[in-house]
Amino acid sequence: MNTLPNPESRAQPVIQIQKMNKWFGQFHVLKEIDLEVVTGERIVICGPSGSGKSTLIRCINRLEEHQEGQIVVDGVELTNDLKHIEHVRREVGMVFQHFNLFPHLTVLENCTLAPIWVRKQPKAEAEATAMKYLERVKIPEQAEKYPGQLSGGQQQRVAIARSLCMQPRIMLFDEPTSALDPEMIKEVLDVMIELADTGMTMLVVTHEMGFARTVANRVIFMDDGQIIEQNKPEEFFNNPQSDRTKLFLSQILQH
Amino acid sequence: MTERAATTSILNNSEFRRILYQLLIAALLIYLGWSIVENTIANMEARDIRTGFGFLNETAGFSIMMSLVPYEPGNTYGRVFIVGLLNTLLVAGVGVVLATIVGFLVGVMRLSQNWVVSHLANIYVEIFRNVPLLLQILFWYTAVLKPLPGPRQVFERNTEIYFGISNRGITGPEFILLENFSFTTWTILLGILFTIGMHRWSKHRQAATGQQFPVVFVGLGLIIGLPILIFLLSGAPIEFTPAKMGRFNLSGGITIIPEFLAVLLALALYTAAFIAEIVRAGIQAINYGQTEASRALGLRNGTTLKMVIIPQAMRIIIPPLTSQYLNLTKNSALAAAIAYPDLVATFAGTALNQNGQALETLAITMTVYLSLSLLTSAFMNWFNSRVKLVER
């Protein structure tokens, strides 16, 4: 395993994962995971399907429970304590492969639901914030429409805006472009690149290696529930260490 | 080209054919309907059978064991119709409410993580859904309620009875509301108005400041708690007249007859099993991603249910729920099997046997069920269209 000299060694780690293990029944999905993320880091996680990369980031906001080891997010350890889980989920936003927008609410209502019910914001304030983020993802004119009336790319941008409305400190992306038609991938990646420029801490599970090259400051390769290799993008792509990484890269970069 | 088109017979014109077929079918139907009516009238005249609705004003002459409006044997068949209709509406109305409550409860229980709870619900659904309704009515009536001991075994002679269960059904006291009770009535009404106002106010306040207010708890306190307090403070102004056990029989009081209870239980529990399945399917049809997205945003489970899951599930649940309500109402006609005096047992049963005017009686009865069903589905369609999902 390749440990990295911390580029911003003085920065506080915002996510600390130590010796974390997780099983689905008999199946050992995550094995002895160690990971530290500091504020402002942009991490791309890649690897073959079934390698546990989605499960890993879903553990960070407790959509999945880990069985062994420790996960500390924003100074709070994830246990069965509901208060802890609520705190972490308020600070961690997530974007899903299939958008998971609420189809019975308008775009604006999708964005204001959590700020109103979780942050207890006044409606006017929540709507103003929502419009600000809808503008940032470049669809303020769709605010009154329903998700079913939008294209896939637009829906994913709404999903990003919805998460940002909670003003999270960390954003998790679980294959955000995998369910999109090719011509819509760029509009979503553009929004993500702009978000990265604002200094947001991001963990992105994706197969978009171009995005990894330009945006990430660390690339993590996972296989068989383990972190096999992690490095800066140029090192990772030009000089992969393990055979499994080489094989994976040769398969994914062939064309 | 044009020459050929001109020479082709008009019989080959698709437009002409379409109209021709429709005309032929319409003519056939009119002929059939007319011949049925004519035949019936001719036959009825030949056998000296009266026609018309004059019989509704004639004296019925038989007694009915339960009626919501005053009725005695000297009343007319028209009155029998009212009594039967009200009894049908009562058992169907209470049945719908009960079936909905039990159905939603069991449906949610089936989705429980708790093994015991979900399996209990499962067993309930499988038993009640798979036994014929008629058999269930007979079960509650002949196997559960009728074998109960009679009033002479249950009650001591010459005692006053405030509550008791025997094979006569559930017996309770008659009650009269005294003058002071109006305080309680007004408190309840004011409580309801206040709660509606409070609901609006709290919505406004949440929109303006983000603060939430426990409307449900305060509302329950205003509508239930406060009236109870006022009721007690105003001197509990209800006068109970208990039933009396005489030498042989009960007199006075209020009795809920076992026929009603049997029909109600059977209809409600049978339909509830179907409603439970509808509710379960409705909730399960909501993609799990909706729950995950809500959690990732930090919404609590209660808020997720209220704002995300239930609004979506209701859209799936309402249409099949409507047909269960219709089924329950129509199935209440099976009450005739144990002589619960519903519309079918009284008006289309005893009354029809006496006056013999089958055509009119059955036409009226069928119209009643048809109107009830159409009214119910009109209401449910209106309700459904209000909550429909916008797609494109």
A142-168 in b/e form (b: 16+ CB < 10 A) is: bbebbbeebebbbbbbbbbbbbbbbeb
Residue B113 touches partner A, C-beta closer than 8 Å: no
DSSP B293-308: HHHHTT--HHHHIIII
Residue B300 touches partner A, C-beta closer than 8 Å: yes
Q: Is the confidence at residue A170, as pLDDT, over 80?
A: yes
Tell me what the mean pLDDT of segment A242-255 comes to.
84
**Single-letter residue type at A99:** F
Task: Please identify which residue in the block is written with the tokens 């009894």.
Answer: B87
Contact between residue B343 and residue B361 where contact means Cβ atoms under 8 Å apart = no
Please tell me the predicted confidence (pLDDT) of residue B5. 55
User: Could you tell me if B254 and B347 lie in one domain?
Assistant: yes
User: Could you tell me if B255 and B143 lie in one domain?
Assistant: yes
How big, in percent rounded to 5, are the helix, strand and coil portions of chain A? 40, 25, 35
Count CA atoms closer than 13 A to B75's CA, side-chain side: 17
User: Could you tell me if B368 and B283 lie in one domain?
Assistant: yes
Contact between residue A147 and residue B391 where contact means Cβ atoms under 8 Å apart = no
Q: How much of chain A exceeds pLDDT 90, in percent?
A: 87
Domain ranges of chain A: 29-240
Q: Which residues touch B297 (CB under 8 Å, ≥6 apart)?
A: A89, A93, A113, A114, A118, A162, A163, A166
Residue of chain B minimizing CA distance to A148: B391
Whole-angstrom Cα distance, residue B317 to residue B348? Answer: 34
Residue A163 touches partner B, C-beta closer than 8 Å: yes
Tell me what the mean pLDDT of segment B191-199 comes to.
90
Given CA atoms A166, A167, A170, A175 in this order, what sign does their dihedral have?
positive
Q: Which residues touch A112 (CB under 8 Å, ≥6 apart)?
A: A121, A123, A126, A127, A129, A130, A165
Structure confidence by residue, pLDDT tens digits, B233-288 = 888 888 888 888 877 777 778 889 999 999 999 999 999 999 999 999 999 999 99
Q: Which residues touch A164 (CB under 8 Å, ≥6 apart)?
A: A93, A133, A136, A171, A195
Contact between residue B279 and residue B317 where contact means Cβ atoms under 8 Å apart = yes
Predicted model pTM: 0.77
Contact at CB, A149 and B391, closer than 8 angstroms: yes
Contact at CB, B390 and A149, closer than 8 angstroms: yes
Contact between residue B283 and residue B111 where contact means Cβ atoms under 8 Å apart = yes
**Residue from A147, A37, A130, A54 nearest A96 by CA:** A54
Contact at CB, B307 and A113, closer than 8 angstroms: yes
Q: Which contacts (CB < 8 Å, 24+ apart) does range A190-193 have?
A: A191/A136, A191/A137, A191/A138, A191/A157, A191/A160, A192/A160
Residue A148 is nearest to which of B289, B303, B392, comparing CB atoms? B392
Q: Which residues touch B214 (CB under 8 Å, ≥6 apart)?
A: none
Residue B207 touches partner A, C-beta closer than 8 Å: yes
Residue of chain A minimizing CA distance to B209: A122
Under DSSP, is residue A206 helix (H, G, I), strand (E, B) or coil? coil
Confidence of residue B132 (pLDDT cuts 50, 70, 90): very high
Structure confidence by residue, pLDDT tens digits, B9-53 = 888 888 899 999 999 999 999 999 999 999 988 888 888 877 788
Confidence of residue B90 (pLDDT cuts 50, 70, 90): very high
Q: Is the confidence at residue B392, as pLDDT, over 50?
A: no
Q: Is residue B182 part of a domain?
A: no
Residue of chain B minimizing CA distance to A103: B389
Please tell me the predicted confidence (pLDDT) of residue A11. 63
Contact at CB, A118 and B299, closer than 8 angstroms: yes
Whole-angstrom Cα distance, residue A52 to residue A224? Answer: 7
Q: Is residue B137 part of a domain?
A: yes
CATH of the domain at B155: 1.10.3720.10
Contact at CB, A100 and B292, closer than 8 angstroms: yes
Please tell me the predicted confidence (pLDDT) of residue B4. 55
Residue B208 is nearest to which of A62, A103, A122, comparing CB atoms? A122
Q: Is residue B67 part of a domain?
A: no
- For residue B269, the surrounding DSSP H or E stretch is helix B258-284
Radius of gyration of chain B measured on its C-alpha atoms:
29
Per DSSP bridges, beta strands A170-174 and A92-95 are parallel
Residue A162 touches partner B, C-beta closer than 8 Å: yes
Structure confidence by residue, pLDDT tens digits, B359-379 = 899 999 999 999 999 998 898
Q: Is residue B208 part of a domain?
A: no
User: Could you tell me if B31 and B143 lie in one domain?
Assistant: no
Q: Is A29-240 in CATH node 3.40.50.300?
A: yes
Q: Is residue B358 part of a domain?
A: yes
Q: Is the confidence at residue A199, as pLDDT, over 50?
A: yes
Chain B CB contacts of A104 below 8 Å:
311-312, 315, 389
Please tell me the predicted confidence (pLDDT) of residue B3. 52
Residue B214 touches partner A, C-beta closer than 8 Å: no
Q: Is the confidence at residue A90, as pLDDT, over 80?
A: yes
Q: Is residue B181 part of a domain?
A: no
Please tell me the predicted confidence (pLDDT) of residue B382. 87
Whole-angstrom Cα distance, residue B168 to residue A155? Answer: 64
Containing structural domain, residue B40 = 2-44
User: Could you tell me if B119 and B255 lie in one domain?
Assistant: yes
Domain count, chain B: 2
User: What number of C-beta contacts closer than 8 Å exist between A and B?
Assistant: 91
Residue of chain A minimizing CA distance to B303: A117
Residue B290 is nearest to which of A94, A100, A148, comparing CB atoms? A100
Q: Is the confidence at residue B387, as pLDDT, over 80?
A: no
Q: Is residue B205 part of a domain?
A: no
Poorest-pLDDT segment among A14-18, B34-38, B118-122, B181-185: B181-185
